[in-house]
Amino acid sequence: MKRLAAALLAAILPLPFVFAGDPEPVADLIDGLRAEDAARREACEEELDRRWEEAKAAMEAALPGEKDAEARARLKRLLEHGGPTVWEETVEAGLKRAGKLGWPCLVVRGDGPLAEGATVEGLNLRAELKAPDTVRALRGYVAVWVSSKDVPGIDARKELERPYAPEGHGGIELYVVHPKRGVCHYLRGWWKAERLAAELERGREFARIEGAEELRRARAAALEELKQRPGADSCENVRRHLHPWNCSATECTLKRLALCYRQGDGILGADVGQTLPDPMAGGLDANLGW
């Protein structure tokens, strides 16, 4: 009886629209955003998202004159969110692609190849990059993973069980780079997906700022905002640790994030096209406190 009910339900419900054969012209996909068939509208949006780079110019041209409210909302969403992350093999190629698309570029100085982590913190970061929050935040980014040796961290190859490493630990470095204006944001170590995604969104905002002084003001305001977050002024572990570097409480975690901001200030505008900044080049002695 259950099988019969399932079969009847499948016969009644509309099937998802599937594109087959040669790719449908982008203009037809844009027209499909105002189709009467809901499945067709969804399928066209998904296909435009998948072919975002190819469709960008046509979507930008269509948006101002689009009169259908739903189609206009879909076009606006597609353009604002950007396309799926584009991974490139080299920093040079990444910056070139980012310049073409008008996107920021995320450059990661990794602990070895992307497919094989050498440190516990590096393995943690790789896992968080695959989390849904991070995947969404990375939309509209060109990304490059630069394999490096001797990146500080807990050696994953010598540990049978992955030991604990608080957020912000490890020597992996992440640079958010504008193709022309250079480094505009910086993170060091691994971070959980929610925090990592928020900083990637913040990096996207920083990349839109044209003036150097305006960028510094925006970063200073973001740093002040960190101080106002719940838990930022009271560490529940204060009696059980001697230094905030190894504490997982909110206050100490945010202090490690604030340290990244201060170190990032030291390399703002750096051109990474030829070579990455030296490790920790933004400041080995930056203050870990507020």
Tokens of 24: 């449908």
Tokens of 114: 């992307």
Q: What is the pLDDT of residue 8?
A: 34
Residue 3 has pLDDT above 50, yes or no: no
Residue 257 has pLDDT above 50, yes or no: yes
Residue percentage of the chain with pLDDT more than 70: 85
Pairing of strands 86-88, 142-148: parallel
Q: What is the pLDDT of residue 87?
A: 96
95-99, 144-148, 266-270, 284-288: range with lowest mean pLDDT:
284-288
CA distance 53 to 98: 11
Q: Per residue in 17-44, pLDDT tens?
A: 444 456 899 999 999 999 999 999 999 9
Q: What mean pLDDT comes out for the span 126-150?
A: 95
| Of 172, 166, 171, 127, nearest in space to 145 by CA | 172
Q: What angle do CA 137, 101, 281 make, to 5 degrees?
A: 65
| Domains of the chain: residue spans and CATH | 16-81 (no CATH), 86-265 (3.40.30.10)
74-88, 146-160, 269-283: range with lowest mean pLDDT:
146-160
Q: Find where tokens 């703002």 sit.
A: 268
Residue 96 has pLDDT above 90, yes or no: yes
Residue 4 has pLDDT above 50, yes or no: no
Helices within the chain (DSSP H only): 2-12, 26-32, 38-50, 52-62, 69-81, 91-101, 120-129, 132-137, 193-207, 212-227, 250-265
Tokens of 231: 């838990």
Contacts of 39-43 spanning 24+ positions with Cβ under 8 A: 39/14, 39/15, 41/70, 41/71, 41/74, 42/16, 42/17, 43/16, 43/17, 43/18, 43/19
